[in-house]
Structures are given as structure tokens and as C-alpha cells.
Amino acid sequence: MSQVSERLLEELGETRTCDLSNARFLDPMWYHDPDLYALEIEEVFRKEWICVAREDQLREVGDYLTEELVGEPLLLVRTDEDTITTYSNVCRHRYYPVAAGAGNARVFTCAYHRWTYGLDGVLRGAPGMGGTDFEIRKCRLPKIRTECWNGFVFVNLDAAAAPLTPQIVGATEGLAPYELSTWSTTAIHDEIWPGNWKLVVENGMESLHHPGLHPVSVQPEIPGLGVKDISDFETWAHLKVPFTDEAARRLAEQTPEAVSRLDEADATALCGYFIYPSFILPIFPAYANWLSIMPVSASQARVFTGLAMSEEILERMGSDREASAAQSREQLVQVNQEDIQATRDLQRTTLSRFIDRGPVTPLELSVLNFHRYLANRLVSER
């Protein structure tokens, strides 16, 4: 590791104990340095729980989809009514992908030499292996840790990782009144954003940028400077950004049941839930959009994002359901485009040689907490 990377890690370690009054953002090289990027992949993305799918993408037994997480090919399958199983999507013969795309299957047949695996991952057939000592039934696709939480599917590449759900009990309790696990996915966008993964996470964790990046699409109803209740947790975090009175009134009229289930503070605010390292869930009383951010390279991130809606709001859309859902999707695309543009610009400007580490405002405590989380994962490991 270079001397620069060592210095950056030392500075990151200091964020754990620094006071908010003199805290600074990351050195801009954090968004470019290849050694630090490699360390993040190893210590964060190969060890932490990452959201890769929505449960309702896999409704029927045999429904499957293929994924990649930091270069690791994955095959997600609904193996029974209550279980989604993730396998390594690499054939045990000569390493071809076992499945491609998405669909429904009873068996998976590798397209290279036709080895066939059952939904349980066990090899069923291997043409041409007769007359060898190879025991077909003992061969199986490795399982990858998988947990479903509130309709989201999380995987962990580390077989020894602690289970996710017990680590985020507070988030589960906070979200319980929303009945989020009953909501339906109405949009999915899976796209590459042109910037380092941390730029996308930092942007998604604060609302101070609403007036700047979203003056029309967000700020008029969710004024960014109103953020409050920024929490500080090891594995998850939370904040609230109150709606304007008018926006709160309109939402209460549109979805009275959802609003009545929440306490007043939650019913009148956009609540942000974050599961470290990179799952962001901004939730309204009856719908939510999410972002799961996965690094592709130091300068590119894959963002798995979309919309989930409650039955109440879908029913209310009635015969206009498709049109209303399309309108919501357009809003999501618009807001994301504004954030994507900022990500692209920041990836360029953070290469400037004239930067000093910028000061953290109290409204960006959530971003500082994210850096503290990173420090815990990257610095203490060394």
C-alpha cells in the first residue's frame, strides 16, 4: 500500500473520535485510490450484507435471476415457498455460468457441456463422466448466505458473517408500522452511475443537497435543511426530513390508512433508513424508493434502485394504476438523473490538486457517521 493510502487510512481512523465542530470530509483521493478501493472490496463488500434483489422478483418456486456482486457471479432461486437460496453461478466442471438472465426452471443446465443441477444445487447429470471416480451426487453449487428483510433480498459473500436481521432490530422496529413487507415492487432500475460508490452513498445519506440538486423535484415539498433525528449506529442509521405542511396534508388525504398507522413525526416526514455499507431506504407513509450501491470499479458504481408501494396507494390509483405508476417512475428517474449528474461531476472535480478537505455541517452528521463506519471496518482490521 502506498504512503498516500496509509496516510488516508490514518486520517479516516481519526474521524471516529473527532468532534463534529472540526470534522472534515474524506480526502478526495478516497474516490480514486486503487489500493483503498481494493481494501474496501475485501473488507467491506466481501464481508457485509448487500441488497441484490426484491423478494417479489422471485414469486414462484423455480423463479431465478442471475446477479454479480463485486465480480462474484450469483444465482438466486426461490427454492420453496418460504426460501430464496443463492448459489455461486459458476459450473463445477469448467467454470461456465450455470444460468443466465432470469426465468423459471426445474433444473439448471450449464450451456457449455450440459451439466445439470437441481433447484437444491445438487448435480444431477454430467454427460461423459461415466467410468470415472467422480461422484455426481456429492457435487453441488456452493451456497451464498442469503436473508430476506422487509421484501429485500440481502446476500453476504462471507460464510462466517453474523446474521443480518439481529443486527438491525431497531430498523425493523422503526419500520414495522409501515408494513413494508406487504408492499409491491412497481419499478426497478439497475444502472451504472459514473462515480465512486461512496459518492453515491454520501449523496443518498444527506438532504442538504435538496435545494441545490433538486430545486423543483424534491425541495419544494421536502426542504432539505429541515433534517433532524440523525442517529448514530454501528450497522444501521436513520434520519427524518419533515414535509412542508401542505405536502403532509396532501399525503394524509391520499393515504389516510398508512398515515394513521404512523406516529406524527414519521407520518409527516421522509424517513431515511440506512443499512451499512450501502443500502439506502427513503420511505414515505405509503411508498418508498431504495438504492443499493455496489462498486464496479473505483470510478463506477452499480445502483440497484426502484419503487415499492403499499396496497392502499395502488388501490387508490384504481383504473389509473398504470398511468400513476408510470408517473411515479418518471419522478424517480428525474430525481436519480439529478443525483447521477452530481456523481459524474464529483468524480471529475475530486481529481483537482487544489482541494482541502471540506468542513462537515451538523446537517451532514449522517455522512460523518458513514465515514466512522468505514473507519471501523477498514482501520481496525489492520
Which residues bind to Fe ion, rule: CB under 5 A?
A: 339
Minimum CB–partner distance for residue 66 and ligand FES (Å) = 14
Quote the CA–CA distance of 151 and 84 in Å, as a whole number.
11
Please give the radius of gyration of the chain, using alpha carbons only, rounded to the nearest integer: 22
Quick one: 68 exposed, middle or buried, by C-beta within 10 A (0-12, 13-18, 19+)? middle
Please tell me what DSSP assigns to residue 161.
P
Under rule CB under 6 A, residue 96 binds ligand FES: yes
- In 181-235, the DSSP E strands lie at 184-193
Those residues whose C-beta lies under 8 Å from the C-beta of residue 304, and which sit 6 or more positions away, are 51, 52, 53, 188, 189, 190, 291, 292, 294
Residue 109 vs 300, nearer CB to ligand FES: 109
Quote the CA–CA distance of 168 and 233 in Å, as a whole number.
10
Residue 361 vs 376, nearer CB to Fe ion: 361
Where b means 16+ CB within 10 Å and e means fewer, 198-210 reads: bbbbbbbbbbbbb
Minimum CB–partner distance for residue 129 and ligand FES (Å) = 10
Give the one residue of 7, 59, 94, 357 binding ligand FES; rule: CB under 6 A: 94
Residue 93 vs 261, nearer CB to ligand FES: 93
Under rule CB under 6 A, residue 54 binds ligand FES: no
115 binds, among ligand FES, Fe ion, none (CB under 5 to 8 A by kind): ligand FES
Give the one residue of 30, 115, 197, 287 binding ligand FES; rule: CB under 6 A: 115
Give the one residue of 8, 50, 69, 110 binding ligand FES; rule: CB under 6 A: 110
Report the residue closest to Fe ion, judged by CB.
Answer: 339
Residue 110 vs 269, nearer CB to ligand FES: 110
112 binds, among Fe ion, ligand FES, none (CB under 5 to 8 A by kind): ligand FES
| Stretch near ligand FES under the rule CB under 6 A, chosen from 112-120, 263-271, 325-333, 335-343 | 112-120
CB–CB of 350/11 below 8 Å? Answer: no
Minimum CB–partner distance for residue 191 and Fe ion (Å) = 15
Give the one residue of 24, 46, 113, 329 binding ligand FES; rule: CB under 6 A: 113
Residue 85 vs 203, nearer CB to Fe ion: 203
Those residues whose C-beta lies under 8 Å from the C-beta of residue 12, and which sit 6 or more positions away, are 26, 30, 371, 374, 375, 378, 379
Nearest to 158 by CA among 78, 233, 70, 96: 70
- Backbone φ, ψ for residue 212 (5° rounding): -80, -55
CB–CB of 186/313 below 8 Å? Answer: no
Minimum CB–partner distance for residue 115 and ligand FES (Å) = 4
Under rule CB under 6 A, residue 87 binds ligand FES: no
Q: In what order do the strands lie in the sheet with 116-118?
A: 107-109, 116-118, 123-125
Minimum CB–partner distance for residue 126 and ligand FES (Å) = 7
Report the DSSP beta bridge partners of residue 187: 307
Give the one residue of 8, 84, 91, 164 binding ligand FES; rule: CB under 6 A: 91
Under rule CB under 6 A, residue 134 binds ligand FES: no
The residues of the shown chain that bind ligand FES, judged by CB under 6 A, are: 91, 93-94, 96, 110, 112-115
